[in-house]
Homo-oligomer: A and B are copies of this chain.
Amino acid sequence: MDTQRGVPRTHARATEPGATGRAGARDVPTATVARLPGYLRVLNGLTADGVVTTSSEELAAGAGVTSAQLRKDLSFLGSYGRRGVGYDVLHLSEQISVVLGLTTQRRVVIVGIGNLGHALASYSVFAERGFAVVGLVDADPALVGTTVGGLMVQPPASLHDVVSGADATIGIIATPAAVAQDVCDELVAAGVVGILTFAPRALRVPAHVDLRAVDVASELQILAFHDRRRTGTGA
């Protein structure tokens, strides 16, 4: 997972009143922000299991980090847990949700309704995590007008209206690589401030827009590196 920005921001302020429930909260490093969803995911699992308090060790193990890393990350939220008691699962979940801005539902538009776009359009986990897919756009005339996940697929010409009309702030790009940059530019022009791309190519966005990229083939290539080392093949 790379944030494809020429000069990546190293810190992200979380100091609005209430951002962490404490005025003058410390900066939250973006590396910590990137780990918070993982902690929240583990906490939600514990809540579902009826667990009320958890230890930094249990939480760290579930998230795949060291407990030292976990405690350091949570300290940026002003959350230190209580010696001998640990962390209150519900309270910590709420704290992280507030810091991540999940207490307000975010509206998402998906561009590119192929197999992946279909999967994303009907991905129930989005709703559970505070996101609402409010628009679908695809260039294929055979898809335009069809309904996916309860939404009608709109043509590219409608992209700006779909985004601004629904006041969407996040765009997901699931198009072929060749058109991804154009789609990205159109989403930015339409007003989104966050873009998640699955297109296997680097994209450029202005400084005020955050870009996250998921390149599935790259993930496999990283696994291949370790596989080669183990089997000694491919070299």
Chain A interface (Cβ < 8 Å from any Cβ of B): 1-8, 12-14, 16-19, 28, 33-38, 40-42, 45, 60-66, 98-104, 106, 108, 114-116, 118-120, 122-123, 125-126, 128-131, 169-170, 193-196, 200-202, 208, 210, 212-235
Pair A101/B229 contact, Cβ less than 8 Å: yes
Task: For A202, give the chain B residue with the smallest CB separation.
Answer: B62
Q: Is the interface of A mostly helix, strand, loop or mixed?
A: mixed
Residues of chain B lying within 8 A (CB to CB) of residue A118: 115, 118-119
List 26 A-B residue pairs with CB atoms under 8 Å apart, sorted by A's residue number.
A2-B38, A2-B65, A3-B64, A4-B38, A12-B225, A33-B222, A37-B215, A37-B218, A41-B200, A41-B215, A45-B201, A62-B202, A100-B222, A100-B228, A101-B233, A106-B220, A114-B119, A115-B115, A119-B119, A123-B217, A129-B217, A131-B220, A193-B231, A196-B219, A196-B223, A212-B222
Residues of chain B lying within 8 A (CB to CB) of residue A225: 12, 14, 28, 33, 36, 99-101
| Distance (whole angstroms) from the CB of A186 to the closest CB of chain B | 18
Residues of chain B lying within 8 A (CB to CB) of residue A216: 120, 123, 125-126, 196, 214
Known interface pairs A120-B216, A234-B103; A41-B223 also in contact (CB < 8 Å): no
Cα(A161)–Cα(B135), bound, Å: 42
Pair A227/B64 contact, Cβ less than 8 Å: no
Residues of chain B lying within 8 A (CB to CB) of residue A126: 216-217, 220
Known interface pairs A106-B224, A193-B226; A63-B202 also in contact (CB < 8 Å): yes
